[in-house]
Protein backbone atom coordinates (compact mmCIF):
# COMPACT_ATOMS: atom_id res chain seq x y z
CA UNK A 1 0.00 0.00 0.00
CA UNK A 2 1.01 3.59 -0.61
CA UNK A 3 0.47 7.06 0.86
CA UNK A 4 -0.65 9.67 -1.69
CA UNK A 5 0.12 13.35 -1.08
CA UNK A 6 -1.63 15.95 -3.23
CA UNK A 7 0.92 18.75 -3.60
CA UNK A 8 1.00 22.30 -4.90
CA UNK A 9 3.60 24.96 -4.19
CA UNK A 10 1.84 26.64 -1.28
CA UNK A 11 2.13 26.50 2.49
CA UNK A 12 -0.82 24.08 2.40
CA UNK A 13 1.06 21.84 -0.02
CA UNK A 14 4.18 21.94 2.13
CA UNK A 15 2.15 21.01 5.22
CA UNK A 16 0.46 18.16 3.34
CA UNK A 17 3.84 16.85 2.20
CA UNK A 18 5.25 16.88 5.75
CA UNK A 19 2.16 15.09 7.10
CA UNK A 20 2.32 12.55 4.26
CA UNK A 21 5.97 11.78 5.05
CA UNK A 22 5.01 11.18 8.69
CA UNK A 23 2.16 8.88 7.58
CA UNK A 24 4.44 6.98 5.21
CA UNK A 25 6.99 6.44 7.97
CA UNK A 26 4.30 5.40 10.46
CA UNK A 27 2.79 2.93 7.99
CA UNK A 28 6.18 1.87 6.60
CA UNK A 29 4.80 2.60 3.13
CA UNK A 30 6.13 4.36 0.05
CA UNK A 31 5.01 7.91 -0.64
CA UNK A 32 3.69 9.15 -3.98
CA UNK A 33 3.46 12.91 -4.42
CA UNK A 34 0.96 14.07 -7.04
CA UNK A 35 1.95 17.55 -8.22
CA UNK A 36 -1.34 19.32 -8.92
CA UNK A 37 0.10 21.99 -11.21
CA UNK A 38 -0.24 20.49 -14.70
CA UNK A 39 3.10 19.53 -16.23
CA UNK A 40 4.30 16.89 -18.66
CA UNK A 41 5.34 13.55 -17.13
CA UNK A 42 8.99 14.17 -18.01
CA UNK A 43 9.08 17.58 -16.28
CA UNK A 44 11.65 18.05 -13.51
CA UNK A 45 10.50 18.00 -9.91
CA UNK A 46 9.58 21.56 -8.85
CA UNK A 47 12.48 23.06 -6.90
CA UNK A 48 10.42 23.74 -3.78
CA UNK A 49 9.25 20.12 -3.69
CA UNK A 50 12.78 18.90 -4.38
CA UNK A 51 14.01 20.84 -1.36
CA UNK A 52 11.29 19.29 0.80
CA UNK A 53 12.11 15.78 -0.42
CA UNK A 54 15.79 16.28 0.42
CA UNK A 55 14.85 17.28 4.00
CA UNK A 56 13.09 13.97 4.66
CA UNK A 57 15.51 11.12 4.13
CA UNK A 58 14.58 7.51 4.72
CA UNK A 59 11.25 7.68 2.89
CA UNK A 60 10.78 6.30 -0.62
CA UNK A 61 9.24 9.16 -2.63
CA UNK A 62 7.89 9.02 -6.18
CA UNK A 63 6.64 12.14 -7.96
CA UNK A 64 3.79 12.17 -10.50
CA UNK A 65 2.18 15.08 -12.34
CA UNK A 66 -1.47 15.93 -12.99
CA UNK A 67 -2.54 16.26 -16.61
CA UNK A 68 -4.16 19.58 -17.52
CA UNK A 69 -6.99 17.62 -19.13
CA UNK A 70 -8.44 16.46 -15.83
CA UNK A 71 -10.04 18.23 -12.88
CA UNK A 72 -7.92 18.42 -9.71
CA UNK A 73 -10.26 16.34 -7.53
CA UNK A 74 -10.65 13.74 -10.26
CA UNK A 75 -6.88 13.60 -10.70
CA UNK A 76 -6.37 12.94 -6.99
CA UNK A 77 -9.07 10.28 -6.86
CA UNK A 78 -7.92 8.60 -10.08
CA UNK A 79 -4.30 8.54 -8.98
CA UNK A 80 -5.25 7.13 -5.57
CA UNK A 81 -7.05 4.30 -7.31
CA UNK A 82 -4.23 3.75 -9.82
CA UNK A 83 -1.56 3.34 -7.13
CA UNK A 84 -3.80 1.52 -4.66
CA UNK A 85 -3.32 4.23 -2.03
CA UNK A 86 -4.24 3.44 1.55
CA UNK A 87 -4.60 7.11 2.50
CA UNK A 88 -4.76 10.47 0.72
CA UNK A 89 -3.13 13.51 2.34
CA UNK A 90 -3.95 17.01 1.16
CA UNK A 91 -3.67 20.56 2.39
CA UNK A 92 -6.58 22.91 2.74
CA UNK A 93 -7.13 26.60 3.15
CA UNK A 94 -10.04 28.33 4.80
CA UNK A 95 -12.82 29.50 2.51
CA UNK A 96 -16.04 31.24 3.30
CA UNK A 97 -19.26 29.29 2.71
CA UNK A 98 -20.05 31.57 -0.26
CA UNK A 99 -16.59 30.90 -1.72
CA UNK A 100 -17.14 27.15 -1.43
CA UNK A 101 -20.54 27.45 -3.09
CA UNK A 102 -19.31 29.56 -6.00
CA UNK A 103 -15.98 27.85 -6.61
CA UNK A 104 -16.63 24.33 -5.33
CA UNK A 105 -14.18 22.58 -3.08
CA UNK A 106 -11.58 20.08 -4.18
CA UNK A 107 -11.12 18.99 -0.58
CA UNK A 108 -14.83 18.41 -0.15
CA UNK A 109 -15.06 16.34 -3.34
CA UNK A 110 -12.09 14.22 -2.34
CA UNK A 111 -13.49 13.71 1.17
CA UNK A 112 -16.87 12.62 -0.17
CA UNK A 113 -15.70 10.46 -3.07
CA UNK A 114 -12.46 8.85 -1.84
CA UNK A 115 -12.59 5.09 -1.32
CA UNK A 116 -9.84 5.39 1.34
CA UNK A 117 -9.29 7.62 4.40
CA UNK A 118 -8.38 11.23 3.70
CA UNK A 119 -6.15 13.30 5.98
CA UNK A 120 -6.71 17.04 5.50
CA UNK A 121 -3.96 19.28 6.82
CA UNK A 122 -4.37 22.97 7.50
CA UNK A 123 -1.13 24.92 7.25
CA UNK A 124 -0.16 27.15 10.12
CA UNK A 125 0.04 30.81 9.23
User: What mean pLDDT, rounded, does the chain reach?
Assistant: 88
The angle that helices 47-55 and 11-27 make with each other, rounded to 10 degrees, is 40
**Residue 104: its pLDDT value, please?**
60
**Residue 101: its pLDDT value, please?**
55
Number of residues that this document lists for the chain: 125
Q: Write down all domains in the chain, each with its CATH number in brackets.
A: 2-122 (3.40.50.620)
Residue 102 pLDDT > 50, yes or no?
Answer: no
What percent of the chain stands above pLDDT 70?
A: 90
In degrees and rounded to multiples of 5, residue 68 shows phi and psi of: -75, 0
**Residue 105: its pLDDT value, please?**
82
Residue of 33, 65, 67, 25 lying closest to 52 (CA atoms): 33
Q: Mind listing the pLDDT tens digit for each residue in 20-78?
A: 999 999 999 999 999 998 887 778 888 899 989 888 767 889 999 998 888 999 999 99
DSSP classification of residue 37: S
Query: Residue 28, SS3?
Result: coil
Lowest-confidence region among 47-56, 61-70, 94-103, 104-113: 94-103
Under the banding of pLDDT at 50, 70 and 90, the label for residue 95 is low
Instruction: Give counts: helices (H), strands (E), the chain.
Output: 5, 5
Residue 1 pLDDT > 50, yes or no?
Answer: yes
Amino acid sequence: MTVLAAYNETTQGDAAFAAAVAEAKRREAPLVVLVLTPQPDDAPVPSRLGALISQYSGTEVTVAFRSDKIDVADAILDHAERINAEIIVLGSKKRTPVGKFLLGSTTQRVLLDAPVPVLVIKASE
